[in-house]
């Protein structure tokens, strides 16, 4: 039967928070229209990584309608049902293979974090393999975290919402940013097999004290000694604070990707060479704080500087306080807003709540019909804020059982 009460699309302008808005629109089933996307730029319209994310969204949903203007400065999106990697759809065997183009300047976490927000509400398990010359698994100059931080600092937090089974993030091939911050040639697989009717209501109000630090140092196409130098410098900073510090070392060869030129159309090239470090601090109550650095594409930064910078970043993340870091807070707040119609509470650092990303997320959720947030002082010395959110009860329309 045709839809007779189609809601008018919500209207937004600009390219900021594009991914967040598409995710919330998909979860709530509300069509949106985004105009003036970089209309004043010399390169107007959607960028390659944004188009690639929209393609990914189309491949894990059924019935979505996506329309672009000729210049790419206007996008109309009418969401469909989140089907996940249903067998026979996307690619054979229930696996969606998503290729990231070489022109992308964003790390793979740009795709993984919003995909993880959608996956619990899918009709079927989500199994996506990201490949292609544009996959960068490390941290990037554009501010994206590494795949290791997603695996160790974001995915474990879903357990608080009752989402913990069959979650796996595999790094099949590592890669750092290529020349100019573009291209990488890595390969990553996300398996998200735990779908729920509604996420649990959470009350997370005790940050606890940091009890251990874990991490991954990775070297792609360079000497393994770079890892040892990063780890040694980072431990030198962190050991006086937390004795239980262990950093795993991972060494991989650089990926060989197609790199056609005028002289050699079938040419290949090794790109994605570099090294980096991902650190995660875990508190006694399960709060996670993360830090992430990687060598710049142009090189020239010694591993000792990277190790020291990553350690200081981790200390800053812990000092910001709260029960969730700035990287994980948007995912947790979105799940709280989509949960059952009860009040959930999450304690965050004052700087995290006041960040541009979190304020923008609150406004967007309000525009989509979610309730306003309640904010109050936690009453501790750090001046932290307790965010109270009443869930909208959106839930998983594709899942029939509770």
Instruction: Please report whether residue 400 resides in a domain.
Output: no
Question: What are residue 288's DSSP bridge partners?
Answer: 282
C-beta separation of 67 from 75 below 8 A: yes
Q: Which pTM value belongs to this model?
A: 0.92
Domain residue limits at 257: 210-320
pLDDT for the residue 398: 58
On average, the pLDDT of the chain sits at 89
* C-beta neighbour count of 347 within 10 angstroms: 22
282 assigned to some structural domain: yes
State pLDDT tens for residues 360-395. Answer: 999 999 999 888 899 999 888 888 999 999 988 877
Contact 64, 107 (CB under 8 A): no
- For 6, the token pair is 């189609």
Q: What are the residues facing 386 on neighbouring strands?
A: 347, 376
- Establish if 329 belongs to a structural domain: no
DSSP single-letter state for residue 154: I
Residue 36 domain-assigned (yes or no):
no
pLDDT value of position 11: 94
Query: Is 125 contained in some domain?
Result: no
Q: Per-residue pLDDT for 92 more than 60?
A: no
Q: What's the confidence (pLDDT) of residue 289?
A: 96
Residue 344: helix, strand or coil by DSSP? strand
pLDDT digits (tens, 9 = 90+) for 297-326: 888 899 999 999 999 999 999 999 899 999
Tell whether 74 is covered by a domain: no
Q: Residue 299: give its domain's CATH number.
A: 3.30.360.20
Residue 222 lies in a domain: yes
How many domains, the chain?
1
Q: Is residue 217 one of the residues assigned to a domain?
A: yes
């Amino acid at each position: 039967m045709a839809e007779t009460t189609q809601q008018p699309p919500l209207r937004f302008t600009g390219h900021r928070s594009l991914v967040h808005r598409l995710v919330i629109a998909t979860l709530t089933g509300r069509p949106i229209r985004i105009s003036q996307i970089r209309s004043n730029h010399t390169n107007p319209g959607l960028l390659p990584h944004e188009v690639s994310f929209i393609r990914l969204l189309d491949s894990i949903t059924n019935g979505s309608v996506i329309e672009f203007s000729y210049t790419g400065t206007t996008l109309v999106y009418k969401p469909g049902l989140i089907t996940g990697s249903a067998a026979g759809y996307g690619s054979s065997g229930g696996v969606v293979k998503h290729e990231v183009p070489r022109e992308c300047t964003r790390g793979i976490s740009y795709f993984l974090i919003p995909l993880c927000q959608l996956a619990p509400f899918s009709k079927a398990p989500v199994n996506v393999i990201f490949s292609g010359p544009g996959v960068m698994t490390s941290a990037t100059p554009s501010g994206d975290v590494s795949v290791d931080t997603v695996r160790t600092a974001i995915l474990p937090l879903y357990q608080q919402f009752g989402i913990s089974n069959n979650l796996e993030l595999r790094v099949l091939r590592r890669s750092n940013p290529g020349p100019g911050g573009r291209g990488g040639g890595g390969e990553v697989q996300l398996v998200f097999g735990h779908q729920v009717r509604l996420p649990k209501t959470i009350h997370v109000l005790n940050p606890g004290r940091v009890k251990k630090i874990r991490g991954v140092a990775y070297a792609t196409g360079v000497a393994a000694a770079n890892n040892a130098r990063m780890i040694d410098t980072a431990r030198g900073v962190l050991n006086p604070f937390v004795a239980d510090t262990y950093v795993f070392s991972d060494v991989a060869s650089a990926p060989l990707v197609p790199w056609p030129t005028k002289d050699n159309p079938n040419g290949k090239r090794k790109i994605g060479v570099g090294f980096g470090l991902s650190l995660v601090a875990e508190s006694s109550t399960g709060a996670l704080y993360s830090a992430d650095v990687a060598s710049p594409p142009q090189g020239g930064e010694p591993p000792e500087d990277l190790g020291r910078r990553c350690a200081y970043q981790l200390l800053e993340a812990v000092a910001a306080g709260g029960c969730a870091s700035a990287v994980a807070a948007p995912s947790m707040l979105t799940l709280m807003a989509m949960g059952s119609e009860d009040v959930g509470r999450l304690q965050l650092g004052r700087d995290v709540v006041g960040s541009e990303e979190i304020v923008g997320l609150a406004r967007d959720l309000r525009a989509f019909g979610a309730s306003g947030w309640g904010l109050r002082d936690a009453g501790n010395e750090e001046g932290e804020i307790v965010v109270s959110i009443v869930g909208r009860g959106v839930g998983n329309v594709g899942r029939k059982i509770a």
